[in-house]
Amino acid sequence: MRNAALTLGIIAGIVGMIIGFFSWGYTELTTQYEQVGETFGFVENQQLVRAAGLLSPLLAIAGGAMARSRALWGGILLILSAIGMYAAFGFGVFTMFPISFAGLGGILAIAAGKPDEPKSHF
C-alpha cells in the first residue's frame, strides 16, 4: 500500500504542478490585461489559487515520497494536498484526477499501519 501511495502522490503532484502553472499564469494574465478577465472571467480569490497552485503539488510530491518511510505523515500531507486542490480549483474535468489520486494515496498511506516491514506508524 505504501508503494501505491508513493506512485499516486507523485502522479498527483506532477499533474497538480501543471494545473498550478496554468492557474498562476491565468491570474497574472487577468491582473495585467483586464480585457482577458472581462472576456473569460476573473478569479475570485487570487491568493488562494496561487497559494494552492504552489503548495498543493508540493505537498502531494512530498507526501508521496514520505509514504514508504513515514506512512502516517505522508498520508496526512497527501490528504492536505487533496483538500487544498479542491478548495482552490474545485472538482472539474482537469482536477478530478490529481484530487482523487492524492486523496486515495493519503488513505492508502494511513491504512498502511501494519506494513510488511516491522516498522509501523501506530
The pLDDT value recorded for residue 27 is 92
pLDDT in tens, 3-45: 999 999 999 999 999 999 999 999 999 989 988 888 888 888 8
Model pTM score? 0.87
At 16, is the secondary structure helix, strand, or coil?
helix
Which has more confidence, 122 or 20? 20
Write down the number of H helices and E strands in the chain.
5, 0
Cell of 61: 510530491
Domain ranges of the chain: 2-111
- CA–CA dist 5, 23 (Å, integer): 26
